[in-house]
Amino acid sequence: MISSHLFLICCLLFIASSTAQTRPKGIILPVTKDPSTLQYITELKQRTPLVPVKLAVDLGGQFLWVDCDKGYTTTSYIPSRCNSASCSLSKAGSCLTECYSPSRPGCTNNTCMLFPENQYAPIATSGTLGSDVLSVPSAFGGPPVTISKFLFVCGTTFLLENLSSGVTGMAGLGRTKVSLPSQFFAAFSFKKKFGVCLSSTSSKGAIFFGEFDSSTAPLTYTPLLTNPVSTAGVYTAGEASTEYFIGVKSININQKPVKLNATLLAINATDGYGGTKISSVDKYTTLEASIYNAVTNAFVKELNVPTVPSVKPFGACFSAKNIGTLYTGPDVPTIDLVLQSKDVYWRIYGGNSMVRVNNNVWCLGFVDGGVNSRTSIVIGGYQVEENLLEIDFAASKLGFSPLLYRKQICANYNFQAKS
Ligand SMILES: *[C@@H]1O[C@H](CO)[C@@H](O)[C@H](O)[C@H]1NC(C)=O
Ligand SMILES: *[C@@H]1O[C@H](CO)[C@@H](O)[C@H](O)[C@H]1NC(C)=O
Ligand SMILES: *[C@@H]1O[C@H](CO)[C@@H](O)[C@H](O)[C@H]1NC(C)=O
Ligand SMILES: *[C@@H]1O[C@H](CO)[C@@H](O)[C@H](O)[C@H]1NC(C)=O
């Protein structure tokens, strides 16, 4: 009896001490906007010994991928064997039975394959799944947090085309079991939700996991929708999209409804066309051509100042001397994305709708996505800056708080632990 109790105590102590380091209250990934490419970039550490790795943020991306061809040195890489638990977790559908070059991360026998994608180029190719040590900053000033077997995909050097200088991969935060959020939730038993706050200035914004006090920013919620047809570059039939879709039912400008084709606003369950998603890869909100034209015309009419020659990629531009300033940014008509009911809307103020293209000109920061575009409304990075987004996997809902402009809350976000 006594000996078995001792055994139990010894093991409990062992478990407690081995998990103490790995049970932070929160994780915070800093996000900066590259001034020349306007890509959102985060930085974490990986491998043994740890090296800093810069990654482009892909909100709807399936997993973390990095270039393993060049400069990937480590002693802790473990390839995921075909049919292993990690391969099925990742839903990998194919197997690299033999790699003909000398063995190294990205080239190992009997390793399951996934398809890393760079939408900035755009290019997708095959890559292999494996794990390595990952280290990320903890919130609230604690020591960095380490995960010993963090799953990621080995990409190749040519996949880095069009990514910002120094960036060697992409951080996928989408709805899969191997995305960064899912692996953080599992490793630290966090609540299954994460926050995104992109900064509009050169200061750092953040993506955060764990316990946070969101009382500084009251959130409005809308259901996250599933697009049953994958939006990835390479996928198998029957796979759903891993991106975050929401249900925009109509658009109001100055609180007046804009006449739109309702078919385009819904997701077509057969081919996955239509609908509204949020993207950190698109710089500006992109609208299907008929929606773009209707919104732009209504906006110009409501603003009621003369347009000036447009500046690419925008269509509607105005002289800065005709536009005043409010605490919410340029004094222009509000644009409401109306959601599940007429009382629930995402209001876009001048600070998020207008782009200063030069000293004299403001343009409406929306882009024409052409006719027959895959997703009718893609809410881009510029429109979510200084908005707090909370993506809740468990409840499948998006919380948003568009009123942060005045507070510049995303710049060097001052996190407070929930007590
Ligand atoms: C991979 O498989 C081939 C043949 O099946 C074998 O010759 C080679 O040694 C293997 N490589 C490694 C690293 O195990
Ligand atoms: C890189 O981006 C530019 C536009 O930003 C595009 O024209 C070019 O085709 C892209 N590169 C590739 C390889 O597609
Ligand atoms: C609305 O969009 C759908 C899908 O593109 C199209 O088939 C239909 O003709 C459009 N309706 C109108 C009235 O333009
Ligand atoms: C949905 O897509 C299918 C296949 O492209 C098409 O036949 C159908 O008409 C679409 N449904 C609607 C409501 O547009």
Instruction: Decide if 258 is inside a domain.
Output: yes
Average pLDDT estimate for 276-285: 98
The more confidently predicted of residues 136 and 213 is: 136
Q: Are residues 256 and 157 in the same domain?
A: no
Per-residue pLDDT reduced to its tens digit, 169-199 = 999 999 999 999 999 999 999 999 999 999 8
Q: Are residues 274 and 158 in the same domain?
A: no
Per-residue pLDDT reduced to its tens digit, 321-332 = 999 999 889 999
Name the pLDDT band for 364 (thresholds 50, 70, 90): very high
> 109: Cβ below 6 Å to ligand 1?
yes
Tally of domains in the chain: 2
Alpha-carbon distances of 256 from 98, 108, 119, 303, 337, rounded to whole Å: 61, 59, 35, 13, 11
What local confidence, expressed as pLDDT, does residue 49 receive?
98
- Under 8 Å between Cβ of 243 and 231: yes
> 38: Cβ below 6 Å to ligand 2?
no
Q: Are residues 236 and 365 in the same domain?
A: yes
Instruction: Decide if 53 is inside a domain.
Output: yes
Asked if the bond preceding 49 is cis, omega within 30° of 0, the reply is yes
Q: Are residues 202 and 233 in the same domain?
A: no
What local confidence, expressed as pLDDT, does residue 213 receive?
66
Q: Are residues 366 and 225 in the same domain?
A: yes
Instruction: Decide if 412 is inside a domain.
Output: no
> 219: Cβ below 6 Å to ligand 2?
no
Name the pLDDT band for 204 (thresholds 50, 70, 90): confident
Q: Which amino acid is at 54?
A: K
**Domain end (from 213, 247, 265):** 213
**Domain end (from 195, 213, 231):** 213
> 161: Cβ below 6 Å to ligand 2?
yes
> 51: Cβ below 6 Å to ligand 2?
no
Residue 405 DSSP class:
G
Instruction: Decide if 397 is inside a domain.
Output: no
Number of H helices, E strands in the chain: 7, 32
Instruction: Decide if 394 is inside a domain.
Output: no
Q: Are residues 301 and 185 in the same domain?
A: no
> 263: Cβ below 6 Å to ligand 3?
yes
Q: Are residues 331 and 294 in the same domain?
A: yes
In this structure, the number of other CB atoms found within 10 A of the CB of residue 109 comes to 14
Q: Are residues 52 and 102 in the same domain?
A: yes
Per-residue pLDDT reduced to its tens digit, 93-133 = 999 999 999 999 999 999 999 999 999 999 999 999 999 99
Domain of residue 142 covers 7-213
Q: Which CATH number do you get for residue 197?
A: 2.40.70.10
Ligand 3 mean position, distance from CA 261 (Å): 6
Please report where in the chains the tokens 């609908």 appear, as a residue: 275
Residue 139 has pLDDT above 80, yes or no: yes
Q: Are residues 291 and 168 in the same domain?
A: no
Q: Are residues 191 and 242 in the same domain?
A: no
To test the pocket of ligand 4, the residue of 271, 288, 373, 376 to mutate (highest count of ligand atoms within 8 Å of its CB) is 271
Q: Beta strand pairing status for 276-278 and 377-379?
A: parallel
Ligand 2 mean position, distance from CA 162 (Å): 6
- Under 8 Å between Cβ of 77 and 111: no
**Domain end (from 161, 186, 213):** 213
Q: Specify the pTM.
A: 0.92
